[in-house]
Amino acid sequence: MRKSDGIQPFIKTASALNKTGFKITFFGNFSKNDKRIFEQSLKQKNVNLNTQKNSKEKKEILALSKKCDLFIGAPGGGFMLGLFARKKIMVDSYPFGLNLPGVSHLYKKLYHQEKNVPHEKAKKKFFFNYNLPKPFTIKNNSADEIYKFVIQNALK
């Protein structure tokens, strides 16, 4: 699992997947707060935190990515590690229209003056557009949205 804004949005999802038998590894550069959250919420069997501090850990990530049944990540370079996974889920997908083959996408939410714009309308209006005019804003997926989407798509 990889997401640039920390592990908090994945706690519920990781716990549920772990209970179904998945071994889970979080990787990235974690803050002290992330490490505290991990210690309090996920320090259980088959849940690991890989901080990529040394080359051994980096090699471990590459080895794990080749054996991965399910990869959950966000757009960016780290998502490339999931390309060998059997199932791939991208959360906070953006821009609208991003569609990688074999990847289930959960797109960021678009708002116009604090009112949610349906995804199909957002995709049509702002297809591959990174520069949204005001008063449009985007928001990352919530922990509950990630949980529902992952459980729906991972356990098929």
Phi, psi of 86 (to 5 degrees): -65, -45
Alpha-carbon dihedral sign for residues 39, 40, 42, 44: positive
Instruction: Give the three-state DSSP class for 92.
Output: strand
The whole-model pTM stands at 0.83
Residue 12's pLDDT is 87
d(CA 102, CA 111): 28
Task: Kindly give, in sequence order, each residue whose CB lies less than 8 Å from that of residue 77, ignoring residues fewer than 6 positions away.
Answer: none
pLDDT of residue 19: 85
Burial class (CB in 10 A: 0-12, 13-18, 19+), 110: buried
Q: Is the Cα torsion angle 29, 129, 9, 155 positive or negative in sign?
A: negative
Across the 156 residues of the chain, what is the mean pLDDT of every consecutive 10-residue run? 68 86 77 80 67 62 78 82 86 91 93 93 92 92 94 85
Full DSSP string of 53-81: -SHHHHHHHHHHHHT-SEEEE-SSGGGGG
Please report which residue ranges of 77-141 form alpha helices under DSSP H. Answer: 119-125
